[in-house]
Structure 1
Amino acid sequence: MRHAPVLTLAVGLLCGALAASAGAAGPSPQAASKPAQDVADKTAISPAAIAAAPATPDQFRQLLTQQRGSVVILNVWGTWCVPCLREIPELVKLQRDLADKGVALIGLSMDEASSIGPMVEPFRQKYFPAFRTYVRNSPDMDSMVSVVDSAWNEILPTTYILDRQGRVARKIQGVKTYDEFRTMVLAVAEPAGAS
């Protein structure tokens, strides 16, 4: 019976996401009547987006380039990954607590892009609304993560801490606590000997 709480959490999260998606009846009449204006570049993705958005490897690379100057916590996750769901709230809290040190949090969901509307976005809104995440718009998971790690072994969760130049400073696989993440992020955000 050791697995009962984990199974209960997974079933509850799945039911909540399905219930949230069942209520989505499509765009509102106001949204449907708006013209497609102010769309400067349909291939770009916004680094400030909060709603889950699809991204190709090239778009994701561009997004990370736009984050240079910040320490980026890049969390690779999936809606089916129970350990991922345990650590995301810790990462959201950490990003909020360290925002004044130039720390940003970006999620990269390994769910398929077709699941954004029915699964990923309702799930994100319900459980971690402050989590900025992108969903792979690529047939395979490796091409997305290879933007930062060509040797990724498909373990979820995997978290990367990128330094202010956009380089991988730390690769973390498996669930960590808030305090463990905080220590690792601060080592990159405030390196010893920096003045």
Structure 2
Amino acid sequence: MFAPDPNLPPLKRLSVVIPARDEAGCIRSTVEHLYVELRLHQIPHEIIVVDDGSTDATWEVLQAACADIPTLRPVQNTGEHGFGRAITFGFEHVTGDAVVVMMADESDDCRDVVRYWRELNRGYECVFGSRFVKGGGRLTTHPSSGYSTGWPIHFCGCCLASGSTTPQMPSRRTGGRSSRAAGLFCRRTST
């Protein structure tokens, strides 16, 4: 197992990026639940929801939610659309020193974000959560090994499922993500 780096500074602010397209029916509850969980655990944060060309009322729902959720920062991707592009667009708007990507339909558990935050603050640079590999549902941590996507977010070199001895390397073919990693939480690096 990999050991945390005790020399890494504590994190100061979490940025949660949520790509959303036509999610008017669920985005408010997703953001509200996330906000409550992060406040409950006193995690300084911002929630960046990227409206990725929605044709429903997603943008209007987000604008209304801002009145009740002070850490919500909705942004509209007016360029080319697509899941990966929405995430990249969100990364361009983060101000935190750690980033997590969540799904707009609340298929990711807000409590896992708190667990990821705690693991990073133990001295890890990247944490993977997986529901697709043996032992899924448990966290996996890994120190940096130099793999970078080109974004100002540092991704580690592999993902180890709990109980596994075989690393799964991120693939450039899949945009730098492991095809088996469901959740990814990383520290920002210098730009």
Instruction: Indicate the TM-score class for this superposition, using the shorter chain for normalisation.
Output: 0.3 to 0.5
TM-score in terms of structure 2 length? 0.40
Task: Point out the structure with max Rg over C-alpha.
Answer: 1
